[in-house]
Structure 1
C-alpha cells in the first residue's frame, strides 16, 4: 500500500485504465474487454466528477486499482449513485479494494451534497456475482443485495420471430430522429427501477458513442408517432478478444400504452433479423429479474437464455 501512488483519475489515464480492466478480465472472465477509446468515454462522462469523486492507485505506470463515482443528472426522493471500480489481479488481497470502497462512499457523499442534497443518498455497486471476493468486500462495508439482473444471449440461429402488427413501421437511427430515440427511451424507462431521464449530454456520452451501432438500432412508429425504441451497441475489443461479434441490445422500450400488445417482441424480432443479416454471431441484453412488466419472460420467449447474473449491492447513507 505504501509503495503506491494515489491520485484522482484524469482522461489521460485512458490507456492505463484499459490495461487494468483487461487484466481484470483475465481473472474474472465476465466478458468485458476495453480499448483506450472505450475507457476515455467513461472518463469524460459528464456525470463523473473525477476531481472530487475518483481515485486510482499506481505502481509506476501500472494502475493497480481505481474507483469512480457517477451521480445522476436528476433525482426525486432517492439519489442512487454508482460506485465503479476494481483491483488488478496482481495487487489483490492487499487491502486496496477496501480502501477504494471506503473512499468511494466518502466521495459519493460529496457529489450528492453538491447536486441532490434534499434526496436520500444510496450508493450502488452493480457487478457479476462470479467475481471472487467481491461479495465479502462489499458486505464488510455494509452493502446489501437489493436487485438481480440477468445477462441473456441469443444465438441468432433458427429465428422464428413475430412480425410487426399492421399500422406500425420501423426505421433505423439517423441524426434526424435521434431526439425521438432519446425521448422514447426516457418516457419508456420512466417506471423502470432506478432509471432517470437521460439528458442530451449523457445520451451522447453513453449511447451515440463509438460502440453505437445505428444500423441495428430502430425506432418504432404508429401513424408517424414514435412509440418504441431499440438501441444496439457492440464492443470491438470484445470481438477481438473472443472472435464473437455481439449485438448488445442496450435499450429496449415501448410507451406504456403499447405494452402487452406484442409490439416490443416484434421490434426485437426485427432487430434480431437485422443483426443476423449483418453478420453478428449473437445478440445479448441485460434484464432486471424482478421487472414487474415481465420482460424476462418476453426475452425467453424470443429465444434468449440466461448466461450470467449481476448483483446490485446498495448502501443507504
Structure 2
C-alpha cells in the first residue's frame, strides 16, 4: 500500500471536483457514521463559498481519478481580536493510517497562516476543526499537532409523530414564517444572538445566502417571533434538510440549524415556542425526525430547552482549536 500512496497526485480543489468530493464524503460516512450524506449540489455549494479560497486554502489527494483525501479551509468574513479559520477534511477508509491525514492537516495549518497573513495580519490566529469525538485516531492526530478541545456539542434527535402538541405562542408575541421580506431579520437575529460566541462569527449577506438560504433551506419550517406591540423581531428558527440524507437512509430529517433569541428577550419562552412550532410543522409536512446541535455548556441553556421539547442525545462533536 505504501507504493500506491507514494504515487498519489496532490493539487488544490476546484469547482469541478463536486462529484468526486461527494463520493469521498459518502465513502467516509460508511465508516464514520456521522449521519451526513452528500450529493454533487451539496459539495458544489461548499466549493463556491465566497470565503473559501480554493487555490490557497485547499488540498486534495487523488489515486487516478478517485479523490482519496482532502482538506479545505474557510476564513472569517469579519474578525476583531482573533481571526478564526475553519478547517475541514478527511481520508477515504482504505487509505487511512498511511500519513495522508497528517500531510493534509499540516497543509491546512500552513494554508490558514497564509490566508491570515493576507486578510487579518494584525490579529491573532486560531484554526478550528469540528468533528465527532468517535472518529478513530483523530484525537491523537490533533493533539500531536497542538490542537486542544474548546467545546463539546451534542447532537440530539426527536422522533416526530402525531403526539406533538400545538405550540402556544407567549402572550404579546406574533409568529410568522420565513419570507423574502423578513429574511434579513433572520440573519440579524442570528448575528446578535451569537455575538459573544467566538466560534460563530457574524454572517454577512453573501455568507448567509451561500451557507443558509441555499438548496437545503426549508422556508416552510423556518419561523420568526415578533413583539406584537412594536414589531421588534425577538427570535427565529431556521430549518434545513439534505436530500442526499433522505435518499441514503430513507429518513427525512428536519435539521434545526439555528434557534436564536435576542438577548433582551430571553426567559420569555421564545425558543421553546419556536421549537414546538417547528416540530409540529415538520411532522405535518411528513418529516420523520428533527435534529439539533446543542452546546451543553452554553450559558443560555439550549441543551435543557431541547431536552424539555423531547430531544434525546446521540452523537457528540468536539470543536478543536490551534492558537498560532
TM-score w.r.t. length of structure 2: 0.96
Which residue number in structure 2 is paired with residue 299 of structure 1?
306
1:1-317 equivalence runs, <5 A: 1-157=5-161, 158-160=163-165, 162-223=167-228, 224-317=231-324
- Give the length in aligned residue pairs: 317
- Between the aligned partners of 2:271 and 2:50, the Cα distance in structure 1 is 31
Cα deviation, 1:14-63, whole Å, max 9, x if unaligned, reads: 00000000000001111010001000000001111101010000111100
Deviation at 1:160, TM superposition (A): 4.1
| Unmatched 5+ stretches in structure 1 | none
SS at the partner of 1:112? helix
- Between the aligned partners of 2:275 and 2:296, the Cα distance in structure 1 is 19
Dislocated runs of 4+, deviation >4 Å:
none
Cα deviation, 1:189-224, whole Å, max 9, x if unaligned, reads: 212342221001000110000100000011111132
Cα deviation, 1:246-305, whole Å, max 9, x if unaligned, reads: 100001101111101111101111111110110100111111121011111111111111
SS at the partner of 1:23? helix
Deviation at 1:11, TM superposition (A): 0.6
Deviation at 1:80, TM superposition (A): 1.5
RMSD of aligned residue pairs (Cα, Å):
1.1
TM-score w.r.t. length of structure 1: 0.98
Deviates most, 166-175 or 121-130: 166-175
Deviates most, 69-78 or 187-196: 187-196
SS at the partner of 1:260? coil
Deviates most, 13-22 or 110-119: 110-119
| Unmatched 5+ stretches in structure 2 | none
